[in-house]
Structure 1
Amino acid sequence: MLEIKTTIRADVLVAGGGGAACTAAVAAARRGADTVLVSKGKVGNSGNTIMIGGSYGMDGESAYRDFHIPEADPTFTKEELFRSICNDGFNLSDQNLVEQFVEESPRIVYEVKEWGEAAGQKFKFYRPGNWDVTGRGMGRALSEGVKETGGIRVYEDVVLIGLLKNGERVTGAVGWDLYGGDLIRFEAKEVILGTGGYQPYSLKNTNSDMTGDGQAMAYRAGASLADMEFMLFLITAIEPNEMRGSILPVICTFREAFDYDPVDRFGNRIEIPESLREMEKTSEMCKLVHIYYYGKAIKDGRGTENGGIYFDFHRFTDEEIDAMFESVMDHFDGFYPRGKYHGNDILEYKRIIKEKRRIEVGLASEYSVGGIFVDETMRTGVPGLFAAGECAGGVFGANRVADAVTEMLVQGYKAGEEAAAAALGEEKIESAEESVREVLERLESHLPKAPAMAEKTRRPVGAIIKDMEKASDEALGLWRKEETLMDGIKAFDRLEKELSHARAGESSLVYNRELLRILEAENTLLCTRTAVKMAEMRKESRGLHLREDFPYIDNETWQVRILSRLEGGNDVLTSRPPVVTRVPLREAGKTDYETFILEEDLGMANMEEK
């Protein structure tokens, strides 16, 4: 039996190393709670925070009136932001969460900017109330905030492998020191998960350690998952190979001077209504437009061998292409060396385009809209457990247009405040030893000395992960249908059973990369399993969930959130209407999806003058 060598006690235990976790730790410590921050990697330099490619912000009214930024646009009010999130989320947002986002975000958004400037990082303001920042800049800002606050005990390169409980209450977690090999028992009055999203697909533009760890741990501990069928896809580089997974192509499309023709593998133009194509320059709603129209072309057999499309430049001269990329490089000045973006060579990308006159791009998932079910205080419904940021769900409904960076900051800070207040008024309840044993037994079952595994035939975990990615591409891609969804449910069930028998080749816990991949794959598979079941249950098209066999929005039946809870080892799916505070739900009835996005007033203009 594996043994725990160290026990760490705290009022509040925070899991994660990015925006949600760091702001949660800061808020908890400020309120006098003894706070521990545990990160799978380096705080501020791991997860998806370092992958930030754009901006974050607040409403223009707050930027102008409260923080006295003269360039801000005060006509973009809190009320407009609130209604935009609700409407662009296809009316599935829990509006109590949207209110928390809108009302409480300005303070922490501005303070994080101040942390970044104290750390020597560049923040560039643009209207209505946003700042451009790099992932490195945001990461260093968060690290500065943790350092300035003081009193936060930080454990880096420690992955939490399971939550601990006593009865129905979460009371701590077991951590694995990846480099030292030790197991650590964390005992806490309150636990906050700020661990980010999950990405089960073969084409990725996110950090590879986004594996749904928090969602899976919470689900096993009794929390519900919600809205898992909604995944946000983004135009992503397929070629050249060294840039595969880069979001440089979509960043280019945001520039006013940049233009291209979307074409299929036959060279035929993919038609998009001009009013929607214009959203590329004004709103993140353009991501949904790309998913719908480019995804439809791919679904209809017009995609490339790699499942993508082409940006075509045949009608542009070399001089016009040069001007486009000058605009792109101008935008990055001060953030990256001239001609670079996150290590990508923009000049080489331009050279390939000028030589071939087209470049292949795909659609990769950048963000999981669903996650752990929480209320406006970030409580999960399981006593002692909070969640915030991308690992939680509810604020963006069926489609995210507002800033995910803002989401992680404001929800993390709220979770820290609430957890500290709760912890300081409670006595510590010790974790049940049975709960500790369950976590250790799960870990031990994947080590080579586990006797129950001795006679099993096993494939390498890498092969299982590739099969999971293939099944995710086919079942949970841009467009779904009953047949492939049911095939996906069967595939994930088979892969979970196979993964339960997987074991690492080495018994040592000192940087056992294979063991870590097994645990991460189990977490991702759990998330993907619930996602495909929710996608099969939702027999309509809404937001980021598109179905070939149900191509309409059904507000009579499906203007509801879908939740899943683990009961007796089985996923039990239920639905409930979203919380409504100010914006009424849509009238009952069915609406053609394309007609809806063409005729409704969608597309929050959150990229003005970018």
Structure 2
Amino acid sequence: MRHLEADVLVVGAGAAGMYAAIEAARQGAGRVLLLDRSLIGRGGATVMAQMTVAAAVGPEGTDHWRHHMADTLAAGRGLCDPALAALLCEIGAECILEMERWKVGWARDAEGGFAQVQAPGHDRPRCVYVDFLSTGPAVSRTLRTQLQRVGASIRRVGEVVVSDLVLQGGRVTGAVALDIASGRPLTIGAAATIIATGGLTRLYARNSASANMSGDGYALALRAGAPLIDMEFVQFFPIGHLAPRLIGMDPIMWDPFRYKLGGRLLNGEMEEFLHRWGEGEAERYVVTRDLATYAITKEVEAGRGSPAGGAYLSFAHVPETRLREAFGPVIDRLAANGIDLTRDAIEVSPIAHYHMGGIRVDTAMRTGVPGLLAAGEAVGGANGANRLSGNAITEALAFGRIAGAEAARQAAAGAPCFDAAAAAPGLALLEAEGERMNTAAMVARLQRIMAADVGPFRTASGLGRAAAELAVLRDELGTAPPGQPGQPHDLLRLDWLDLRQMLLVAEAVVNAATARTESRGAHQREDYPGQSPAWERSLVVDLPAGEVRPRFVT
């Protein structure tokens, strides 16, 4: 067993985690420990993001972060925390400018300013990019470079899964983790801990994020006593790739094509249909994601879906010269997959993409549990019921920067010395030996439950069925991981640890969705189809006596 000490512990090394570690070091934290279950800066959602980043960085007089905030609040359907939304938009713009100084390579327009496009839900061109398929990798690469430049004050450790936080007198003083490479437990003592583990899209089989987005940060915080907020709001990306087979390309790559070139959404009868569900079709992609998801799903339910069960996305009306001018080499990569956009309509369908909910924080990213902070998609509240397109990386950078600075401040104030006795329950779990079981099949079962009854459209009966099935699965999981401890790269035990967290988070989503008896943003109750003014308030989820319980924000 190993033990590590840090002033600031950052759990998760996507954009939020890396920026938090950089800022903590810049603000004087001499020992910053950056942990991730993947290679540092190579896992999570940021490195997979292919599109644009929303920020009011246009020429003076053309935009302002307050305009960006107005669009963010409108997309959030009345549930955004205005203070957090303001930070996202104001600090986010500052971070985009800092990333430019760090040579990320934002695309430029003819006048030398930022090239910006108008994404769905924005009132003007506001979204910057490196190129339409490499923005996320460029952001990740730039942050990895900055980690190197900060130097020895940041220690980076990959292939580590944090299973529990350590509490001493109601304060988080570190964590218990599993070293995947050795199979041995690891304890960490820290004056301040930042959860930056991203969202929960792995709860659904069809998702756009990496396989490590299991919602484990939410579970860690909830078990430590931090409430979660807006857990019912899971955003489904409406035009995830469905067919034909696409190799080596991201399933959500079609959005920039759609809003830059005006691709047409068609049903199985090759008819445009968005106007049937409350939105007119236009030359640009202007319909928000929740409405597009609803329209596609309803067309499929009406028997007008494409052969694979989605809708068609067609660019046949766009000249090849314009396709190549906009996306150049990507057209050749598609051709290698047998797709000719001048001739072939591809099939798309909704895919789990982002989670608006998460850990409830204040404007310093504090969770209410001393010593515990959160950043990035792990934070809930800023996006309300529906995230505005382009806000994800902006949020990661802004909240990472704020959390890092606050963690450094807390570390400078001192903290109780780590007490190994407080870590004993977490270590006992990792050292336990349970009965063998097919944990991979159990993960797949959980995903089927969520897809069937906790997807974009819910009902009381479906949510009740999901709750009952999750309870059965939880009983089958038991209280000890299968097999012998201490085995390197033991995927059986790793899946068990993931399932322990996933089941808790899934229960939080189901209970919050059951409690919200209306339809708003990404939460659509078919038995309560209207948006109710009485529900213009958020639900928080606590874990009193081990029971997941939603309540109104007070």
TM-score past 0.5 threshold: yes
Q: Shift in Å at residue 503 of structure 1?
A: 4.2
1:135-534 aligned at under 5 Å gives the runs: 135-150=136-151, 151-199=153-201, 200-234=203-237, 235-243=239-247, 246-256=251-261, 258-264=262-268, 269-272=272-275, 276-278=279-281, 281=284, 283=286, 285-303=287-305, 306-311=308-313, 316=316, 320=317, 323=320, 326-333=321-328, 337-339=329-331, 345-348=333-336, 351=339, 357-401=344-388, 402-431=390-419, 433=421, 435-445=422-432, 450=433, 453-454=434-435, 459-500=437-478, 503-505=481-483, 507-534=485-512
Structure-2 separation of matches of 1:58 and 1:311: 28
Instruction: Letter of the 2:392 partner, please give it.
Output: A
Q: Which string of whole-angstrom CA distances, capped at 9 and with x for unpartnered residues, describes residues 82-105 of structure 1? A: 222112211101111112222222
Over 3 Å counting, the alpha-carbon distance change for 1:574 and 1:203 in structure 2 is same
Q: Shift in Å at residue 114 of structure 1?
A: 2.7
Q: Shift in Å at residue 348 of structure 1?
A: 4.2
Q: Shift in Å at residue 378 of structure 1?
A: 0.4
Instruction: Letter of the 2:260 partner, please give it.
Output: R
- SS at the partner of 1:238? strand
Structure 2: 5+ residue runs without aligned partners?
109-113, 117-124
Please tell me whether the aligned partners of residues 48 and 250 of structure 2 are also in contact (alpha carbons under 8 angstroms): no
Over 3 Å counting, the alpha-carbon distance change for 1:479 and 1:307 in structure 2 is farther
Please tell me whether the aligned partners of residues 309 and 361 of structure 1 are also in contact (alpha carbons under 8 angstroms): yes
Instruction: Letter of the 1:148 partner, please give it.
Output: R
Alignment match, 2:115: 126
1:550 aligns with one of 520, 528, 534: 528
Alignment match, 2:111: none
Instruction: Letter of the 1:101 partner, please give it.
Output: L
- SS at the partner of 1:553? coil
Structure-1 separation of matches of 2:44 and 2:257: 24
Over 3 Å counting, the alpha-carbon distance change for 1:245 and 1:126 in structure 2 is closer
Over 3 Å counting, the alpha-carbon distance change for 1:279 and 1:504 in structure 2 is farther
Instruction: Letter of the 1:539 partner, please give it.
Output: T
Deviates more, 1:516-525 or 1:301-310: 301-310
Alignment match, 1:84: 71
Over 3 Å counting, the alpha-carbon distance change for 1:239 and 1:170 in structure 2 is same
Please tell me whether the aligned partners of residues 213 and 524 of structure 1 are also in contact (alpha carbons under 8 angstroms): yes
Instruction: Letter of the 2:331 partner, please give it.
Output: G
Q: Which string of whole-angstrom CA distances, capped at 9 and with x for unpartnered residues, describes residues 585-605 of structure 1? A: xxxxxxxxxxxxxxxxxxxxx
Over 3 Å counting, the alpha-carbon distance change for 1:362 and 1:11 in structure 2 is same
Instruction: Letter of the 1:575 partner, please give it.
Output: F
Instruction: Letter of the 2:63 partner, please give it.
Output: F
Percent identical:
30
Over 3 Å counting, the alpha-carbon distance change for 1:503 and 1:12 in structure 2 is closer
Structure-1 separation of matches of 2:223 and 2:359: 11
- SS at the partner of 1:396? coil
1:22 aligns with one of 18, 21, 27: 18
Over 3 Å counting, the alpha-carbon distance change for 1:327 and 1:288 in structure 2 is farther
Q: Does 1:96 align with 2:63?
A: no
Q: Which string of whole-angstrom CA distances, capped at 9 and with x for unpartnered residues, describes residues 352-397 of structure 1? A: 6667x54321110111111111111100111100001101101010
Q: Shift in Å at residue 514 of structure 1?
A: 2.0
Please tell me whether the aligned partners of residues 507 and 548 of structure 2 are also in contact (alpha carbons under 8 angstroms): no
Q: Shift in Å at residue 507 of structure 1?
A: 4.0
- SS at the partner of 1:523? helix
Alignment match, 2:120: none
Please tell me whether the aligned partners of residues 277 and 286 of structure 1 are also in contact (alpha carbons under 8 angstroms): no
Instruction: Letter of the 1:143 partner, please give it.
Output: R
RMSD of aligned Cα (Å): 2.5
Over 3 Å counting, the alpha-carbon distance change for 1:478 and 1:49 in structure 2 is same
Structure-2 separation of matches of 1:397 and 1:228: 10
Structure-2 separation of matches of 1:548 and 1:229: 14
Structure 1: 5+ residue runs without aligned partners?
66-73, 578-610
Over 3 Å counting, the alpha-carbon distance change for 1:495 and 1:275 in structure 2 is closer
Over 3 Å counting, the alpha-carbon distance change for 1:516 and 1:113 in structure 2 is farther
Please tell me whether the aligned partners of residues 6 and 183 of structure 1 are also in contact (alpha carbons under 8 angstroms): yes
Please tell me whether the aligned partners of residues 475 and 484 of structure 1 are also in contact (alpha carbons under 8 angstroms): yes
Structure-1 separation of matches of 2:281 and 2:270: 22
1:7 aligns with one of 3, 9, 13: 3
TM-score by length of structure 2 reads: 0.89
Please tell me whether the aligned partners of residues 39 and 157 of structure 1 are also in contact (alpha carbons under 8 angstroms): yes
Instruction: Letter of the 2:514 partner, please give it.
Output: E
Over 3 Å counting, the alpha-carbon distance change for 1:57 and 1:113 in structure 2 is farther
Structure-1 separation of matches of 2:293 and 2:385: 14
Please tell me whether the aligned partners of residues 164 and 431 of structure 1 are also in contact (alpha carbons under 8 angstroms): no
Structure-2 separation of matches of 1:239 and 1:476: 24
Q: Shift in Å at residue 278 of structure 1?
A: 4.8
Structure-2 separation of matches of 1:498 and 1:94: 38
Q: Shift in Å at residue 274 of structure 1?
A: 10
Alignment match, 1:567: 544
Over 3 Å counting, the alpha-carbon distance change for 1:57 and 1:542 in structure 2 is closer
Q: Shift in Å at residue 306 of structure 1?
A: 5.0
Q: Shift in Å at residue 173 of structure 1?
A: 0.7
Over 3 Å counting, the alpha-carbon distance change for 1:278 and 1:144 in structure 2 is farther
Instruction: Letter of the 1:251 partner, please give it.
Output: P
Q: Which string of whole-angstrom CA distances, capped at 9 and with x for unpartnered residues, describes residues 92-122 of structure 1? A: 01111112222222222211233244xxx56
Structure-1 separation of matches of 2:369 and 2:487: 31
**Count of matched residue positions in the alignment of Structure 1 and Structure 2:** 531
Q: Shift in Å at residue 304 of structure 1?
A: 5.3
Alignment match, 2:34: 37
Over 3 Å counting, the alpha-carbon distance change for 1:312 and 1:282 in structure 2 is closer
Structure-2 separation of matches of 1:374 and 1:421: 17
Q: Which string of whole-angstrom CA distances, capped at 9 and with x for unpartnered residues, describes residues 562-608 of structure 1? A: 1111011101210126xxxxxxxxxxxxxxxxxxxxxxxxxxxxxxx
- SS at the partner of 2:543? strand
